[in-house]
C-alpha cells in the first residue's frame, strides 16, 4: 500500500486502484485580501484543496475579486466584505467555523513623528493593531468554546524591526504586532497546544502599498522638512530597487506557516532582507 500526496488529499494505491482519502482540509479566512499578497496566498491555498474566504473592506471590491476568481475556476475560493474595525462585521467569524485566521488587513500612513496628526496615528493603530487583535480574540474564544484546533497568523513586517524614517506610524504598528503575536503564543501554550500562533514578517515587495504610504506623508505640509518631496523620491527609488516584484517568496512562506502544525512562530521573506534583518538585530539590539 502506497500513499501519494495530492494537495490536501492522499491517493492510496492498493491492488492498482487509487482511492481518494481526504486529508487535513481547512477553512481559511484571509482579511484584506482584495489583491496582492492576501489574494495570491488565498489562490495557492485554494489550489491545495482548502476552502478559502477572502475578505475585503469595501463592497465595490467584491465583484472585482469575484471576476478574478472566476478566471481561475476555483470554486473553493470565496469573497465577502468584512470591515475589521466594525464589531458587527468581526462577529461574522463566529458563524464561519474557521480553522485558520490570517490577519492581513492593514493600512499605511506616512509622516514624520514631529508632525503626524494624532488622529492619523490612532487610525493606523485602530486598523493594524486594535482591530486585528480584537478579531483574533473573537476567533480564539470561539475555538475554545467549540474545543477546536486552530491557527492565528499575524502579518507584521520587517519594518517592525527596522523602523523606516517618515513611516514611523506604520513601523510602530508592525512592531506592536510582533509583540502581540509573541506574547499571545507564550500565553496560549500555558493552557493549550491546540491553538497555534504564526508571525509573518515580509520585507519590501513592489505591490504599490509602499508607494501609497510614502506619498501620503506629503499630504502633511511639513514645517520642518522643506526637502520632503526629494526625500520621498529617494525613498521610492530605494524601495523599487530592493523590493521584489514576484510575491512567491512571501506567499509560499505564508502557505508554509498555515500548513505547519509545529510550534514555530516566525517566518520571514525574501531571504536577502530576512538575512539583513538578522544582522541588524545582532548589531543594534
Residue 25 cell numbers, joined: 482540509
Q: Confidence band (pLDDT; 50, 70, 90) for 3?
A: very low
pLDDT over 70 at 8, yes or no: no
Look at residue 109 and tell me if it is in a domain: yes
Q: Give pLDDT, residue 155.
A: 98
Residues forming a β-bridge with 56: 81
Summary mean pLDDT of the chain:
91
How many domains does one find in the chain?
1
Look at residue 146 and tell me if it is in a domain: yes
Helix extents (H) in the chain = 36-47, 61-72, 87-90, 118-125, 132-146, 168-189, 209-216, 228-242, 248-259, 271-284
Look at residue 140 and tell me if it is in a domain: yes
Residue 236 cell numbers, joined: 521610492
Q: Give pLDDT, residue 13.
A: 42
Residue 225 cell numbers, joined: 522638512
Q: Give pLDDT, residue 220.
A: 80
**Residue 52, domain extent:** 24-284
pLDDT over 50 at 20, yes or no: no
Report the candidate in 230, 218, 113 with the shortest Cα–Cα distance to residue 164: 113
- Kindly report the CATH number assigned to the domain that includes residue 101: 3.40.50.720
Q: Give pLDDT, residue 11.
A: 44
Place of cell 471590491: 61
Look at residue 1 and tell me if it is in a domain: no
Q: Give pLDDT, residue 130.
A: 98
Look at residue 10 and tell me if it is in a domain: no
pLDDT digits (tens, 9 = 90+) for 136-176: 999 999 999 889 999 999 999 999 999 999 999 999 999 99
**Average pLDDT, integer, range 6-30:** 56
Look at residue 8 and tell me if it is in a domain: no
Give CA 133 to chain center in angstroms.
13
pLDDT digits (tens, 9 = 90+) for 22-60: 458 999 999 999 999 999 999 999 999 999 999 999 999
pLDDT over 70 at 15, yes or no: no
pLDDT over 50 at 82, yes or no: yes
pLDDT over 80 at 6, yes or no: no
Q: Give pLDDT, residue 285.
A: 66
pLDDT over 70 at 228, yes or no: yes
Tell me the catalytic residues: 170
Place of cell 470554486: 75
pLDDT over 80 at 262, yes or no: yes
**Average pLDDT, integer, range 101-124:** 96
Look at residue 14 and tell me if it is in a domain: no
Lowest mean pLDDT among 10-24, 116-130, 201-215: 10-24
Amino acid at each position: 500500500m502506497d500513499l501519494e500526496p495530492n494537495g490536501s488529499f492522499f491517493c492510496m494505491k492498493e491492488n492498482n486502484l487509487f482511492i481518494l482519502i481526504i486529508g487535513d482540509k481547512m477553512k481559511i479566512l484571509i482579511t484584506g485580501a482584495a489583491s496582492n499578497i492576501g489574494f495570491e496566498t488565498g489562490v495557492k491555498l485554494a489550489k491545495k484543496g482548502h476552502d478559502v474566504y477572502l475578505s475585503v473592506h469595501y463592497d465595490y471590491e467584491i465583484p472585482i475579486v469575484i471576476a478574478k476568481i472566476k478566471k481561475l475556476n476555483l470554486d473553493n475560493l470565496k469573497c465577502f466584505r468584512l470591515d475589521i474595525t466594525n464589531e458587527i462585521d468581526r462577529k461574522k467569524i463566529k458563524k464561519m467555523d474557521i480553522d485558520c485566521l490570517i490577519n492581513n488587513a492593514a493600512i499605511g500612513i506616512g509622516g514624520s513623528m514631529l508632525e503626524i496628526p494624532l488622529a492619523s496615528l490612532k487610525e493606523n493603530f485602530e486598523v493594524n493593531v486594535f482591530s486585528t487583535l480584537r478579531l483574533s480574540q473573537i476567533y480564539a474564544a470561539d475555538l475554545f468554546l467549540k474545543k477546536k484546533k486552530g491557527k492565528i497568523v499575524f502579518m507584521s513586517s520587517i519594518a517592525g524591526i527596522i523602523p523606516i524614517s517618515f513611516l514611523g506610524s506604520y513601523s510602530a504598528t508592525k512592531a506592536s504586532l510582533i509583540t502581540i503575536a509573541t506574547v499571545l503564543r507564550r500565553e496560549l501554550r500555558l493552557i493549550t497546544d491546540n491553538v497555534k500562533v504564526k508571525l509573518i514578517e515580509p520585507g519590501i515587495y513592489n505591490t504599490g502599498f509602499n508607494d501609497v504610504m510614502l506619498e501620503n506623508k506629503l499630504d502633511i505640509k511639513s514645517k520642518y522638512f522643506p526637502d520632503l518631496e526629494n526625500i520621498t523620491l529617494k525613498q521610492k527609488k530605494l524601495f523599487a530597487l530592493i523590493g521584489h516584484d514576484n510575491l512567491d517568496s512571501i506567499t509560499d512562506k505564508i502557505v508554509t506557516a498555515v500548513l505547519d502544525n509545529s510550534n514555530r512562530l516566525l517566518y520571514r521573506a525574501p531571504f536577502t532582507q530576512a538575512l539583513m534583518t538578522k544582522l541588524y538585530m545582532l548589531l543594534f539590539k
